[in-house]
Structure 1
């Protein structure tokens, strides 16, 4: 893997790890940026890991650009198999798949869709070779997802499913973006899922909604007390399908300020995962093999 370094003006270095997303590329980004953060290098202002790249903002009056570049290259050289272990969080996110609100929104924008005669879920199931929506939902929720980056709008996580490349669920974005997407919609574009943290425009296919707020400047819920943006790069997400009754109960708890998420600390080992992804995932999420 050959990393490509590019200066952006006087204050930025952009590092491309690979042109295509992969767990190996993502872990390389996380390992280097984590080391850089731990070493607290003087002059480093911001560290922004992404899907298969990362970007550093630094103060050139504190650390010379050439010295900053040399430091990043040193971290790359020191990267070894021992770095492919990540201490992170496993988070269970409840999802009401095939909900009435995203279906209603999708119906308003069918002229912008590849298949105006079907819903987003029907289209996604068909082009991925699943005989029914339920089969597709099972494939979407059965394996965990990595949060590879957070952005676009405040708190929105981009998530990459932890399965072999041949099993990746892929759907194109809308032909033209919608001007509306319900808040907390579970979307999918390319090989990435996301959760729309706020209501607004969007082009990802819509699969359902979660009752769990993931961005709240008021920080009213227990899991948002530490930070108004919940997700972090490196989080592992397990989607839990729920029914309408469970969704309504969760929404009542959100309104009362008592809703909480199931979160536990885990250690993820990339090499053990790559040796047997299915078995590792089952162990990770506590399911039966």
Structure 2
């Protein structure tokens, strides 16, 4: 029996229940948060206003005039219990390719513009991330980062921002980095950031403290609904999906940008069934099997 961590519930004022599965980031905790919140949506319990899964927790907002806090907590405990056994969980998700220009000039420009906020002001963000992870060769770093699939564990902060956690790696294999000492006041749209073990793509220009290691050629949010694959929700990120970076050069970057701007770009995606049990049993081998022929 593969049991997931026990959840601790707490009340937030008169309208919120916060469910903490674990204090630290664990993939199995995120699987449980996704499973519980999916089931909550499916049940359509009267009085629930909003359901927000996070990296290793979830938050539920409710109307106390329709459902009491204690009754809702009982619902949550019941669902949480049914989603605590890995052998009974599976997810229908997508693998999505993200064409990425690593160490691009715009990211480098922003690195030096905000160097006074950086822990190593003499280095670009890209150089800093390479250094703290023991890389001396640029291409080796790009290969290591891009060959790792990343699980979308949470969406938030700026609309469409996806927190991505590496799959199938041991802790000593994960590329990670300290954040800025104090946040930038501006970040380029589609900038690829790394903070701790998490990756993000900034959907729009705005503040940020993650190290900039490159730039996505594709938009992760499309309020104009020009892109066929983003017409349904305008946002690319879905919790539980897997993103895979593909390194590209400047020429391909500009080609893809033109396709995105004209609405002709189609994302490379693959629908899969993700098994938390197989992930727990086989780890990296299971992820490699999922990524075959992609």
Q: If the TM-score is normalised by the length of the shorter chain, which range does it land in?
A: over 0.9
Q: How does 1:150-165 map to 2 (within 5 A)?
A: 150-162=155-167, 163-165=169-171
Distance in 2 (CA, whole Å) between partners of 1:214 and 1:253 is 14
**Unpaired runs of 5+ in structure 1?**
none
Distance in 2 (CA, whole Å) between partners of 1:91 and 1:199 is 23
Give the superposition deviation at 1:287: 5.6
Contact 1:143 1:281 in 2 (8 A): no
Residue 199 of structure 2 aligns with which residue?
193
Counterpart secondary structure, 1:48: strand
CA deviations on 1:194-234 (whole Å, 9 max, x unpaired) are: 00000122110001011211112211111111012221111
CA deviations on 1:64-89 (whole Å, 9 max, x unpaired) are: 11110001111122222234321111
Distance in 2 (CA, whole Å) between partners of 1:92 and 1:212 is 10
Counterpart secondary structure, 2:6: coil
Residue 226 of structure 2 aligns with which residue?
220
Residue 189 of structure 2 aligns with which residue?
183
Which is worse superposed, 76-85 or 99-108?
76-85
Contact 1:121 1:133 in 2 (8 A): no
Residue 30 of structure 2 aligns with which residue?
26
Contact 1:164 1:277 in 2 (8 A): no
Q: How does 1:10-25 map to 2 (within 5 A)?
A: 10-25=14-29
Contact 2:87 2:277 in 1 (8 A): no
Counterpart secondary structure, 2:183: coil
RMSD (Å) for aligned C-alpha atoms: 1.4
Equivalent position to 1:97, from 99, 102, 107 = 102
**Cα pair distance change 1:167/1:84, threshold 3 Å:** farther
Counterpart secondary structure, 2:14: coil
Equivalent position to 1:274, from 274, 280, 286 = 280
CA deviations on 1:126-145 (whole Å, 9 max, x unpaired) are: 11122222222212111100
Residue 41 of structure 1 aligns with which residue?
45
User: Which runs of structure 1 show a deviation greater than 6 angstroms over 4 or more consecutive aligned residues?
Assistant: none
CA deviations on 1:168-189 (whole Å, 9 max, x unpaired) are: 2210101121122110000010
Distance in 1 (CA, whole Å) between partners of 2:88 and 2:210 is 33
Provide the aligned length of Structure 1 versus Structure 2.
288
Distance in 1 (CA, whole Å) between partners of 2:117 and 2:127 is 16
Check if 1:144 corresponds to 2:139. Answer: no
**Unpaired runs of 5+ in structure 2?**
none
Give the superposition deviation at 1:45: 1.4
Check if 1:118 corresponds to 2:118. Answer: no
Which is worse superposed, 85-94 or 276-285?
276-285
Q: How does 1:217-256 map to 2 (within 5 A)?
A: 217-256=223-262
Distance in 2 (CA, whole Å) between partners of 1:81 and 1:151 is 26
